[in-house]
Structure 1
Amino acid sequence: MAKKQTFSVLYWIRRGRNTDNASPLFCRVTITGQRYEIPLNCKIRPQSWNAAAQRSIGKTAADREANRIIEDTAQNIEDTLERIRQKGYVLNVENFRLMYQAQENPYSTIKTLFEYHLILEKKNLSASTIRQYGITCNHLLTFVRLKYHVSDYDITAIDKAFVNQFFAYLQGYQREDKKKLCTNNGALKHIIRLNKLMNIALQNEWVNRNPAASFRIRFNRVEKEYLTEKELQAIQNANIKPHLAIVRDLFMFAVYTGTAYIDIYNLTPANITIGIDRSLWLHYNRQKTETRCAVPLLEPAETIYHHYETYHENQLTRHIFPVPPNQVVNRYLKQIAAAAGIDKEITFHCGRHSRSLF
């Protein structure tokens, strides 16, 4: 039998040793036995408090101010309940606290904190980095939905246990399907992003601690995959469909130049110059490190470049290659590897690690 839902509000003073003969006033919201206390940030004399009337019966300015704060708080509670009803959220302490505190700080939840970070850093972040922060936010929101049955979560309630359990969740702990969402290193990157967001909240004094700061970051050593000369030759000779041939050209260009996916995507004919040796050189700034790179175009890379001249027509503002999305490229590379008879987990990044063979 389902437990009957109850809701009550109580205003009370915390009596104790008060040198100024005044006691702090609090509001307690109780939802089905769970309490949420709201400090009202004012004090009144205990003899002025009428518990039955839930008001101060004194005549001083402090008493009048206390009653005004009680009325404002009551209205805020009603407004919070209305927002919960409008959004169709479950009425529980977590959702109530979340919606109530959002009135005081518009960035008091996980989702709004990530939105604030995007506003703050959007001009300084690449599209791929912004996408990764979005993935971290989605993982966090899914985690709190499954664990706490809420659509968002109050950042002041995040503690060390939350961070540890989130990391375990990413590793597949207590998931019904036992599916591992991330590798150890992938999960740690999500913790690093959470740590950065919580530092922003700490700097703005939205939280009084950053529980993610003490999480132990320990990456597993990963051996980077590469292809042998024989395997690269097999890829070159593989009989594949035209749409896969474009990805093969991009991959081999990365092999001969050591260029990352995003940098190949950004290349235009303006990046190709003639060096003092009268041969073609590739000049570009690496997006990841912002370092300047100058790479001679070996004959195979130059052949690939010229193969796409009808695409870019030597227009300095056009991309050199028709580059598909990174996920598509990696999916096609798996098909190319299968056609070449290569039993390795090949990604576009393997091209950079295979460069030393030439």
Structure 2
Amino acid sequence: MLENSRLSVVFVTRKLNLEAGNIRLYARVTVDGKRAEFSLNRELQVSLWDEKRKRGKGFSKYIISLNKYLDQVFTGLHEAHRQLLQEEVDITSAGIKARYLGEDEKGKTLLDLITYHNTAMLTVLRKGTMKNYYTTERCIKEFFEEMGVEDIPLKKLNYAFIVDFEQYIRKYKPVTRMGCANNGTMKHMERLKKMSRLAVKLEWLEKDPFINFKLRFEKTERQFLTEPELQRIEETIFKVLSTQHIKDLFVFACYTGLSFIDVQELKADHLVKGRDGNDWLYTKRTKTDEPLKIPLLPKAKEIIDKYKDDPDLFENGRLLPMYSNPMINRTLKDIAKVCGIRKKVTFHVARHTFATAITLSNGVPIETVSKLLGHTKLSTTQIYARVVEKKVGEDMQNLMAIMKIKKNNYEGSKVTL
């Protein structure tokens, strides 16, 4: 309720000691019939209380001081009510009581919440995840600039703000990169939603403002290379040393399923002999901290052997040369062009290629693939299985088309005797 809320403030008593006749004073706040009470930490004899006037009787120093205090409480509660009306929040007896007592986190703002979350999560979330939260924080600050404010009270984090922020993100186009597509927008909203839930747990908000907002992620196809496409890259030799290095890194990831950060973190001591006597990689997936045990396929082993005598790598204890992710992706774009591949090739495409073209398409059980990829849920791996199913369906359609052509040719070549 807002301006039409009915406020009543009265002082009530509770008996403390029946024999001594002592009473304690309480303030009772009522809004539209709902009450909230709190102790005033004041006591007096029942005979000194005027129940009709709701004030102390007489003119003793204590009574004069008490009545003055009661007037201050009365005025303070009405002031709390006025402030809440100005802020255009729901008016409740509990809210007025909390505002008067300084328990409603009046000063908390959205940026306070973001700062609290990012500080608290710094040692919990991965560096890459924190980077995403910082990006969302930057977007919120830029949205504030468009609104003409530096911050907003946390209580103004409501459905209207959420919808307006979503629309801003959809139109948001930084100078240095492309704007957000639907799923990128939803990721920002998902992070803000998680922070709003934290505010509810901290009792900075009474209810989750996202309760009526639905995150709408679109299903996207995982881009991967076919075996012939991967073979074209493998067979192409590049004269520029860094380009050749990046090609090797990409091919290595295609045969191990490792992400960029996991390849970057590979050390010589991650290469071990398995129980089967073959070479394995024993490491952890950086994103989830899940242990990874990957038997090395011959192509991946060839690439490791190629660099085993590199003095720079030996000194740093690394298995492979490394470059920044942006540089790798820029170079892969050129590599794809040279090899006649029209797909958008990034380093992460190697992981998708391992899951589809290298393992699932060659009959490796999905449970095994899930383990090799370090997935915590089988449903994540099943996304790749759907891609493989689609590919099988397309191949069968092509086969049927070829068979139909052959049949027509056969029918046309029949000779009637």
For 1:264 and 1:213, the matched residues in 2 are separated by: 40
For 1:311 and 1:68, the matched residues in 2 are separated by: 78
Matches within 5 A, 1:146-161: 146=146, 148-161=147-160
Secondary structure at 2:294 match in 1: strand
| Cα pair distance change 1:111/1:348, threshold 3 Å | same
For 1:69 and 1:322, the matched residues in 2 are separated by: 73
1:63 paired residue among 65, 68, 80? 68
User: What is the one-letter code of the residue matched to 2:209?
Assistant: P
Contact between 1:195 and 1:213, CA under 8 Å: does it hold in 2?
no
Give the number of the structure whose alpha-carbon radius of gyration is greater: 2
Aligned to 2:126: 126
Contact between 1:107 and 1:116, CA under 8 Å: does it hold in 2?
no
Aligned to 2:115: 115
1:227 aligns with 2:219: no
Residues paired across the two proteins, number: 288
By how many angstroms is 1:266 displaced? 1.1
Unaligned runs of 5+ in 2: 13-26, 30-37, 41-52, 54-62, 77-86, 89-103, 359-417
For 1:318 and 1:268, the matched residues in 2 are separated by: 6
Aligned to 1:345: 344
Matches within 5 A, 1:159-308: 159-172=158-171, 181-236=179-234, 237=236, 239=238, 241-308=240-307
Secondary structure at 1:123 match in 2: coil
By how many angstroms is 1:220 displaced? 0.6
For 1:240 and 1:251, the matched residues in 2 are separated by: 17
Secondary structure at 2:117 match in 1: helix
For 2:75 and 2:302, the matched residues in 1 are separated by: 78
- 1:59-117 CA-to-partner distances (Å, cap 9, x unmatched) read 5445358669999xxxxxxxxxxxxxxxxxxxxx99xxxxxxxxx95982233322211
For 1:208 and 1:327, the matched residues in 2 are separated by: 43
Contact between 2:238 and 2:244, CA under 8 Å: does it hold in 1?
no
Matches within 5 A, 1:39-118: 59-61=64-66, 63=68, 108-118=108-118
By how many angstroms is 1:200 displaced? 1.1
TM-score, structure 2 length as denominator?
0.59
By how many angstroms is 1:121 displaced? 1.7
Moved more, 212-221 or 59-68: 59-68
| Cα pair distance change 1:259/1:180, threshold 3 Å | closer
By how many angstroms is 1:120 displaced? 1.3
- 1:105-139 CA-to-partner distances (Å, cap 9, x unmatched) read 59822333222112212111111001000011111
| Cα pair distance change 1:112/1:278, threshold 3 Å | same
TM-score, structure 1 length as denominator?
0.68
Aligned to 1:336: 335
| Cα pair distance change 1:118/1:319, threshold 3 Å | farther
| Cα pair distance change 1:60/1:218, threshold 3 Å | same
User: What is the one-letter code of the residue matched to 2:123?
Assistant: K
For 2:311 and 2:9, the matched residues in 1 are separated by: 81
Bigger helix fraction = 2
User: What is the one-letter code of the residue matched to 1:319?
Assistant: R
For 2:105 and 2:319, the matched residues in 1 are separated by: 48
